[in-house]
Structure 1
Amino acid sequence: MNNNLIITIGRECGSGGRQIGQKLAERLGIKCYDKELLSMAAKESGLAEELFKTHDEKPTNSFLYSLVMDTYSMGGYSASAYMDMPLNHKIFLAQFDSIKKLADRESCVIVGRCADYALADYPNVVSVFIRGDDSDKIRHLAAKHNISENSAKDIMIKTDKRRSSYYNYYSNKRWGSSKSYDLCLNSSVVGYDGAVNIIEEFAKQKQAYIKHMQEKYNSEKR
């Protein structure tokens, strides 16, 4: 385990989570990974990148899921078990592995894709969820895609439903629940820059507290 700082960001559609992640990464002098993870996982796994784009943050209903994840949690999977996996499980595990390798390699911001779940055992991870008021999210999406507010609302609802289903399916937590993250923020209340400031300060406080507790533990062992 290393001391790399990893900030994971879950987000509601239209809340500005990706923009906040990019601003935060720029502030901290590190990289922000979003769809870049798809290319990375494709390269490292040997699977076609187009497959990752097709299955990106989309759930499945395969009965093999429990067996797959139980096998993975026990320290790996056999070649035969891997070959029997549904394609979307292979893609999920490829991203899972790439996220871990990335966290081992460098400090960074990771947007979406159950990164907080993949890195649950990493002490220097700050998990954040960004939400927003529906009216603000709809206006943001309408302006971004040059569409009507009704169309923007439809995109928002469908995207959040897909992200929620994916997160709830592949993790042992609930998407958007305060219990699932270190920090939950409403970008409609604090703005994008305000969210960046809060996350940066929260990360500093968490790192300081972890260091303090480690020093306290070490002194008690002596």
Structure 2
Amino acid sequence: MNTVITIGRQYGSAGREIGQKVAEYFDIKYYDKDLLTRAAKESGFCEEMIQNHDERPTNSFLYNLVMDTYSFGYNNSSFVDMPISHKVFLAQFDTIKKIADEGPCVIVGRCADYALADRANVIDLFIFGNEECKIKRVMELYGLTEAKAKDMMIKKDKQRQSYYNYYSSKKWGRADSYDLCINSSVLGVEGTVKLITQYVEDFEKKNYKKAAN
């Protein structure tokens, strides 16, 4: 196993649970919120600050300047003057690359697919679901009314979409931004996990044959 799996997900689609089960199946590491802890440690930012800006959109500054700064490193003058939200993004971006260098794993959210776009051993997935199923899941998980669950779902997805579209050169949730998009409402959590593991195993076989030739 040499594959890094990135998972983008709609709120309530069970993307996190699916990612955990895929990681368990392959016996590889799983990164979600703990990625923030590591990014905080490695960047020197406090963890609370990184959590406050996690997958949240920003309206200030230009995307190009962010990427130019990433190319030049943390110590240049542009980085010093950069908004906190951009510094947090760069810290996460850097941590994602380091994590992928360490071996196969599952990384949920945080533009991981974009951070690793130049690597051949990465599979990018997007998990979505039917609105009714997602609302029901959010209601059960957090004990919310249907109206509150729907509001939370819409708000979270808007945040994720804005964040992804701002920092990456692709569109959140659009099929051509990923290798595989799956409606988890159709197969359920276990069925979706089974589909993903089969896909990854076939991907590994193909890459193994290519390397052997």
TM-score (norm 2): 0.95
Following superposition, the deviation at residue 79 of structure 1 comes to 2.4
Which position in structure 2 is the counterpart of 1:116? 113
Q: Secondary structure at the match of 1:110?
A: strand
Following superposition, the deviation at residue 67 of structure 1 comes to 1.4
Which position in structure 2 is the counterpart of 1:220? none
Looking at structure 1, the residues matched to 133 and 70 of structure 2 have their Cα atoms a distance apart, in angstroms, of 40
Following superposition, the deviation at residue 77 of structure 1 comes to 5.4
Q: Does 1:180 align with 2:170?
A: no
* Partner residue of 2:200 out of 203, 206, 221: 203
Which position in structure 2 is the counterpart of 1:57? 55
* Partner residue of 1:16 out of 14, 17, 28: 14
* Partner residue of 2:139 out of 138, 142, 145: 142
- Does the 8 Å contact 1:4/1:103 carry over to 2? no
Looking at structure 1, the residues matched to 165 and 173 of structure 2 have their Cα atoms a distance apart, in angstroms, of 10
- Does the 8 Å contact 1:11/1:130 carry over to 2? yes
User: Where do 1:1-222 residues align within 5 Å?
Assistant: 4-73=2-71, 76=73, 78-216=75-213
- Does the 8 Å contact 2:56/2:159 carry over to 1? yes
Looking at structure 1, the residues matched to 65 and 52 of structure 2 have their Cα atoms a distance apart, in angstroms, of 24
Percentage of identical aligned residues: 57
- Does the 8 Å contact 1:55/1:88 carry over to 2? yes
Deviation per residue, 1:147-181 (Å, 9 max, x gap): 10110000000000000000000000000001001
Aligned partner letter, 1:142 = M
Q: Secondary structure at the match of 2:60?
A: coil
- Does the 8 Å contact 2:14/2:184 carry over to 1? yes
RMSD over aligned Cα atoms: 1.4
Q: Secondary structure at the match of 1:9?
A: strand
Task: Please identify runs of 4+ aligned residues in structure 1 that moved more than 4 A.
Answer: none
Following superposition, the deviation at residue 31 of structure 1 comes to 1.7
Looking at structure 2, the residues matched to 18 and 193 of structure 1 have their Cα atoms a distance apart, in angstroms, of 13
Deviation per residue, 1:102-121 (Å, 9 max, x gap): 01012111110000000111
Following superposition, the deviation at residue 59 of structure 1 comes to 1.2
Aligned length: 213
- Does the 8 Å contact 2:6/2:108 carry over to 1? yes
Aligned partner letter, 1:175 = W
Deviation per residue, 1:62-85 (Å, 9 max, x gap): 234321213424x54542121011
